[in-house]
């Protein structure tokens, strides 16, 4: 059937077997830019032993909106053996659960989020008796711990989040698990999918399963909470997981039957929540902090805004949930940091059925497509003048908050399958940055704009030194 389709053009390559893999990994930005120039908005590359179609700005919304034809989840499962690492996920839609029971009640978690963020920040970014300043290296590690404290507090309970072992599990669960994504799929050069097949054998045989140690810790602390009938917090989703009680008022009225719970299944579902929340939020928060540290000329303007916002805080320094809407310049800064996160391509989707794009080109069932981020996030028509330049307040007057998705901003995906946790994550980042800006002056140790570390088409935060000094009030 595939031979009869009007397939996207395959970019020429010189090296057999390797194809475009080297250029995609080590010169991705210039390589994809040249491919776009020569082949247009849709073309195919031969990477890691298989043909993948790159989709530009003109056709991205087709991929993101046609959920009957394209699936991010299916593509992810082809690369990552989540059904083996997290066996209890098969009967639960994590996205649906989060939408219905957590993210629609963000104001309910606002005070706890702030308290946890502020105490964790003081713990991990501790200047102590330093009169002038202190250098912190690898901010990504520190912020991951800070975010883990907060998410553990909200996902598993305030008391349990005081234990260092649960914070370690929240901080390390994803980084331990994604080794199956980080190891280059070299075996796929022999046969597409062979790498995932071998990974599954490794897990099934018991040779290596990074989630087992974390599952034991999660079960221990979930049990601790389940035995406390008056603790209501994330039992909203936990009890939904167990298939016991679906509405908060019913749960409160009848309590929670801790003798009728599959704790292994709950731990797997909690692991999925950790996987989709901690790593991405920590990365984006670290990027935002380093982007500001790299541009200290914007610190004073943001500081003045946060001073005004903080006038709404109570005697304990806790802001009302509505105060987030007043952080307009900070929100714009964060959106700009997201926009220029450095991701060149990503959001790979599997094709669920033969599909014809609006330009007549076709992709077959079982094929893979990938979104060309740079074609959107660095396009002048979509972003305005100087799209490659970091302009922190370009979004203030445009009335586009950091959480708003659209044709010109797809970091969180798009359509009805856009990341359901983006509002939650952005609230965390804004509360963290609000507190950090009020308490500290910070800048890069080098005094320069620090670039992110590139891994193929993706990036991770710089491990540069950041100088913190207590702000003199």
Annotated binding residues for heme, written as ranges, equal: 419
Burial environment of residue 325 by CB neighbours within 10 A (0 to 12, 13 to 18, 19 or more): exposed
Start-to-end CA span in the chain (Å): 71
Task: Show binding-site residues.
Answer: 419
Contacts of residue 22, Cβ cutoff 8 Å, sequence gap at least 6: 15
Please tell me the chain's helix, strand, coil percentages from 3-state DSSP, rounded to the nearest 5.
50, 10, 35
Supply φ then ψ for residue 372, to 5 degrees: -90, 90
429-468 b/e with 16+ CB inside 10 Å = b? bbbbbbbbbbbbbbbbeeeeebebebeebbbebbebbbbb
Who contacts 415 (Cβ-Cβ below 8 Å, separation ≥6)? 61, 64, 65, 67
Beta strand 458-460 with 368-372: parallel, antiparallel or unpaired?
A: unpaired
Between strands 50-55 and 368-372, the pairing is parallel
Q: How far apart are CA 442 and CA 468, in angstroms?
A: 4
Q: Rounded to whole angstroms, how far apart are CA atoms 467 and 125?
A: 11
Three-state DSSP class for 317?
A: coil
What φ, ψ does residue 349 adopt, rounded to 5°? -125, 145
How far CA 169 is from CA of 180, 196, 214, 239, in Å, comes to: 18, 25, 6, 21
Classify 260 as helix, strand or coil: coil
| Phi, psi values for residue 219, rounded to 5° | -60, -45
3-state secondary structure of 178: coil
Contact by Cβ (8 Å): 64, 413: yes
């Amino acid at each position: 059937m595939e031979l009869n389709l009007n397939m996207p053009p395959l970019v020429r390559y010189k090296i057999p077997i390797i194809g475009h893999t080297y250029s995609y990994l080590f010169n991705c930005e210039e390589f994809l830019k040249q491919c776009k120039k020569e082949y247009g908005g849709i073309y195919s590359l031969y990477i890691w032993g298989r043909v993948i179609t790159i989709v530009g700005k003109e056709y991205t919304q087709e991929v993101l909106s046609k959920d009957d034809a394209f699936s991010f989840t299916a593509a992810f499962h082809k690369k990552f053996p989540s059904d083996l690492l997290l066996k209890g996920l098969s009967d639960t839609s994590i996205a649906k659960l989060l939408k219905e029971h957590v993210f629609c009640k963000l104001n309910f978690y606002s005070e706890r989020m702030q308290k946890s963020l502020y105490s964790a920040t003081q713990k991990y970014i501790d200047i102590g008796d330093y009169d002038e300043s202190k250098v912190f290296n690898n901010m990504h590690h520190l912020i991951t711990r800070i975010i883990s404290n907060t998410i553990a507090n909200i996902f598993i309970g305030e008391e349990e989040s005081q234990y260092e072992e649960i914070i370690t599990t929240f901080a390390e669960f994803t980084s331990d698990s994604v080794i199956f994504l980080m190891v280059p799929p070299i075996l796929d050069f022999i046969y597409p999918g062979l790498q995932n097949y071998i990974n599954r054998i490794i897990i099934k045989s018991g040779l290596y399963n990074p989630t087992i140690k974390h599952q034991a810790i999660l079960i221990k602390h979930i049990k601790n909470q389940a035995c406390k009938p008056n603790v209501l917090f994330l039992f909203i989703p936990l009890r939904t997981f167990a298939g016991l009680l679906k509405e908060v008022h019913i749960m409160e009225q009848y309590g929670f039957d801790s003798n009728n719970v599959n704790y292994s299944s709950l731990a797997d579902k909690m692991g999925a929540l950790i996987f989709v929340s901690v790593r991405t939020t920590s990365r984006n928060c670290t990027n935002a902090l380093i982007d500001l540290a790299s541009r200290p000329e914007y610190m004073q303007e943001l500081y003045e805004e946060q001073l005004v916002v903080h006038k709404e805080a109570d005697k304990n320094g806790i802001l009302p949930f509505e105060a987030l809407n007043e952080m307009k310049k900070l929100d714009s800064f964060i959106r700009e940091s997201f926009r220029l996160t450095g991701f060149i391509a990503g959001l790979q989707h599997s094709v669920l059925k033969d599909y014809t794009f609006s330009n007549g080109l076709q992709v077959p069932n079982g094929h893979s497509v990938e979104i060309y981020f740079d074609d959107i996030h660095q396009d002048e028509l979509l972003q305005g003048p100087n799209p490659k330049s970091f302009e922190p307040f370009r979004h203030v007057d445009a009335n586009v908050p950091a959480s708003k998705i659209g044709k010109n901003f797809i970091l969180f995906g798009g359509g009805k399958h856009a990341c359901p946790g983006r509002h939650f994550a952005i609230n965390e980042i804004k509360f963290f940055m609000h507190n950090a800006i009020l308490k500290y002056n910070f800048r890069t140790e080098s005094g320069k704009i620090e670039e992110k570390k590139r891994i193929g088409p993706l990036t991770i935060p710089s491990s540069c030194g950041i100088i913190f000094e207590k702000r003199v009030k």
